[in-house]
Structure 1
Amino acid sequence: MNTESQKTALITGASSGIGRELAKLFAKDGYNLVLVARSEDNLQQFGDELKQQHGLQQVTIVDKDLSKENAARDVYDEVTGQGITVNVLVNDAGVGLHGMFATETDWEKESAMIHLNTITLTHLTKLFLKDMVARNEGKILNLASIVSIMPNPLMAVYAGTKAYVYNFTQSLVNELKDTNVTITALLPNATDTDFFNKAGAENTKVTEKLDDPVMVAKDGYKALMKGEAKVVAGGLGNKSYEVLAHIAPEEALNAMMRKNMEPKDEELDGSSTNSSLAWGIGAAAAILIGIAAVAVYNNTSAYDQLRYRYKFSRAKSKVANAFNNMKDSVADTWSDAENSAKKTWANTKDEAKDRWSAGKNSAKDTWASGKDGTQESWSDARHGAKDAWSSVRKAVVDAMS
C-alpha cells in the first residue's frame, strides 16, 4: 500500500543486515528509495525486487564507499542533482574491528572505520538536515549500538565511534525540539548480520546469541516514525543493559563485555569463575532495582526527577563500594555453602531412603485394608441407589396417574 508514495528514504548500508530490513519496511509503506552501498550489482537486484513488489515509483542506487574522503558530499550531490528530496535519512552503514588496540589491530582499518562510522555519518546528517530544517519536515535514524553507552574491550575504537553517534544524536534531539524534524538513535545489541565476520570476531562468545535483524529493524522503524529520541531494540534483556550502564560499576561492565568478546573456546580459571558469579549477583540486583527505579521516575514531576537524579548520583557511588566489598567475600561464601550443601544432601539422602522404605510398606497395608472396605462400601451404595431410584420412579408414576 503506497501510503508515502511522494516521499523518499535514503538508506546507507542497504545491501545487507539491518539496513536491508529497513529498506523493506520503507518500501512496504510506499517510500521511494535511495539505496547506498558498495555492492552495486547486489543492490541493483534488491532495488528492482522492492520496486516491482511494492509498486514504487523510483529506486535509486548509489554505489559509494562511504569510508573515503568526501563520500558524503558525493552522495548528496548525486541525489540532489537528480532532483530527489530526501524526507528520511537512515545512517546505517558501519563496521567494527576486533582485537587488542595496542598490539593487534591495524590503524589503517581503524582510520577507515572512524571515517565511516562518524565523519561520513556526521557529514550526511549535516547536508540533509539543513534541507529538512529549511522545509521544517524530515526524519533521521542513526545506528548507534548498545555499546554506545557501555565500554567494549577488544572493540575499543568501534565502541568509541558508537558513543559519538549516540551523543551526537541526542544533542541534535535538543537542537531540533522546536521544529518538525526528528532524529532517533537506534541501539541494537549484537545482531545476526555479517558484522562480526567483517570485524574478525566471528568466533567470539557474543555470537552465540544474536538478535534477529528483522526485529531490530522493526523496533527502529517504529521509533523513527514516532519521532522518539532513542530506542534499545529487543526485549527487557536488552533494555536492562541501559540500566546497568548507569548503575553497575565500570569494572563489572568491562569484565562482562570483555568476556563477551573473548573466543568461544577460551578456558576460564577459578578467578574468572568467581568474578562471573559476583557479576551475576550484581547484575541481577541492578536489573531489578533499575526496573523499579524507571517505573517510579517516569511517574514523578520534573522537580522530583531532579531530586532523584541527585540521589541516584550519590547512591551510585555507594553501590560501587558495596559491589567491590561483595566481590571479595562472595567466593568464600560460595565455597562454604557448597560444602554445607554436600553434607546436607548426604544426610538427607540416607534419611529419605529409610522413610521411603517405611512409607512403601505402610502404603501396601493401607491399600489391602482399604480395598476390602471399598468393595463393601460400593455394594452398599449400589443397593441404596437402586432403592432410591425405585422410590423416585414410583413417585413419578403416582403423580402422573
Structure 2
Amino acid sequence: MSRRAAVATGGHDVADAFVQGQVETLVIDTDAAAESELAPKDRAGLSIAVLEDLAAGVFRECCFSGCGYRLCRSTRAEADSRGVDMTGNRLLAVVTGASSGIGFELARQLALNGYGLVIAAEDKGIEEAAVELRTAGDGTVPVEAVRVDLATAEGVQRLHTALATRAVHVAILNAGVGWGGAFVETELAAELKMIDLNVSSTVHLTKLLLRDMVADDEGRILITSSIASTMPGSFQAVYNATKSFLQSFAEALQEELEDSNVVVTSLMPGPTETNFFHRARMDATPVGQAGKDDPAEVARQGLAALMAGKDRQVAASLKTRAQELAAKMTPDKVKAAMHRKLAEPEE
C-alpha cells in the first residue's frame, strides 16, 4: 500500500493503515443517500480509532462532499516541528557539539519547539548549555548533558548507551573542529583527531541511530557539512576533506533512504560567528578576520530544512549561497587558489 495516498470504499484495514501512518492521505467513498442515516463511526467502515484521532486533532481536516469525505493527516513535518509525535507525546533529539556555536543554537531551536534533549560535547561548557536550554520555551524541556569525547569510539558508544532504550526522533550530528595552516607544518596528531571527530564519530553514531530509525520508518538526521565541502581547502587541507566526506556521505544516505520516511539533511554553513576560527588557529587569516554569519540564523535555516525534508541547506547569508553556486561552475584548481587567499595566514 502506498504511504502517500490510498482510495477505498471502506474497511478497517485501510483506516487502521492510515492511523498507523502507512498512508498519509485517505479518501473514502460513501453512499451519499445513506450518509445522513449513518453514525460517523459506521461510515464506510471507518474504525473508531480514526474518529478518536480526528477528535484529538491528529487529522488536519475532514472535508465532506456529495460522494464522500477526505481525511488529511497532519504531516509528520508539522508534528515534528512541534516536538511531539502524532499523539502528542514529547519527542527526543540528540545534539552533538552542543556546548556552543551552531550546535548550541540548533539545540535551542529544538528546545523552543518542545523537544526533549540529550546534548553532548567534550568541554565543560556542555553543562552550562544544559542549564540554559532547560529554561527555553515553557521551561519544562528535559535536557540531559553528556560530557564525552566523540573523537573516540568509546565516547560514541558512551553517548549511545546514555540514550538507553529511548527512541531518538531527531539526531543533529554537529560535532566537529577545524585546523588551519600549511599541511607540511600542521600537527599530525591534531589532524588525525579531527578526522576521528568530524568523520569517524559521525559515521559511527549514524550507524547506531539510523538502524532503529529505519526499523521504525521515521526519524530525521541533520549532518553539519560546510560550504568548505565544495572546494579544495588550501591551508585547511584536512578539514575541507572531512567536510567533503560528510557531504558525500549524506547524499549517499539520501538515495538509500529514498523509499522510507527517514530524512537525512546536510547543513552547509559558511563562515559563522563562533569559536571555530580561533580554535583552528586561524585568527590571523583573511577569513578569520572577515564578517561572519549569525549562528542562530544558520541553525534556524538548518532545522527548517530538516523538518521540510530537504536534502541540503546552504546557510545563512546570500554571500554563502552565492559562493556555493559559484563553486559548481568553477574548476577545482581555481577554487583551491581562491581558498588559499582566504585561509593562508597573513605575514
* Structure-1-length-normalised TM-score: 0.63
1:188 to 255, 266, 269: 269
Change (3 A) 1:56 1:129: farther
Counterparts of 1:269-280 in structure 2 under 5 Å? none
Q: State the shift of 1:70 in Å.
A: 2.8
Offset from partner CA, 1:144-191 (integer Å, 9 cap, x none) = 000111111000000110000000000000011111100000011111
1:151 to 232, 238, 248: 232
**Structure number having the greater strand percentage:** 2
Q: State the shift of 1:243 in Å.
A: 2.3
Please give the alpha-carbon distance, in whole angstroms, between the structure 2 residues aligned to 1:99 and 1:209. Answer: 20
What residue is the counterpart of 1:30 in the other structure? 114
User: For the pair shown, which has the larger CA radius of gyration, 1 or 2?
Assistant: 1
1:219 to 301, 306, 315: 301
1:168 to 236, 249, 272: 249
Partner SS, residue 161 of structure 1: helix
Partner SS, residue 36 of structure 1: strand
What residue is the counterpart of 2:324 in the other structure? 242
Q: CA RMSD in A?
A: 1.6
Partner SS, residue 134 of structure 2: helix
Structure 2 unaligned regions, length at least 5: 1-80
1:201 to 261, 282, 288: 282
Please give the alpha-carbon distance, in whole angstroms, between the structure 2 residues aligned to 1:227 and 1:129. Answer: 16
Partner SS, residue 176 of structure 2: coil
Offset from partner CA, 1:233-292 (integer Å, 9 cap, x none) = 12332122222222122232112110001235x4xxxxxxxxxxxxxxxxxxxxxxxxxx
Please give the alpha-carbon distance, in whole angstroms, between the structure 1 residues aligned to 2:82 and 2:280. Answer: 38
Counterparts of 1:1-400 in structure 2 under 5 Å? 3-4=83-84, 6-40=90-124, 42-54=125-137, 55-80=139-164, 83-102=165-184, 104-207=185-288, 208-264=290-346, 266=347
Q: State the shift of 1:2 in Å.
A: 6.3
Change (3 A) 1:245 1:3: closer
Q: State the shift of 1:58 in Å.
A: 2.0
> Are the counterparts in 2 of residues 50 and 56 from structure 1 also a CA contact under 8 Å?
no
Q: State the shift of 1:50 in Å.
A: 2.2
Please give the alpha-carbon distance, in whole angstroms, between the structure 1 residues aligned to 2:262 and 2:171. Answer: 11
Higher relative contact order (CA 8 A, sep 6+): 2
**Structure number having the greater helix percentage:** 1
AA of the residue aligned to 1:91: L
Offset from partner CA, 1:338-357 (integer Å, 9 cap, x none) = xxxxxxxxxxxxxxxxxxxx
Partner SS, residue 293 of structure 2: coil
Q: State the shift of 1:213 in Å.
A: 0.7
What residue is the counterpart of 1:289 in the other structure? none
* Structure-2-length-normalised TM-score: 0.72
Partner SS, residue 52 of structure 1: coil
Change (3 A) 1:262 1:138: same
Please give the alpha-carbon distance, in whole angstroms, between the structure 1 residues aligned to 2:319 and 2:238. Answer: 25
List structure 1 runs of 4+ shifted beyond 6 angstroms.
none
Structure 1 unaligned regions, length at least 5: 267-401
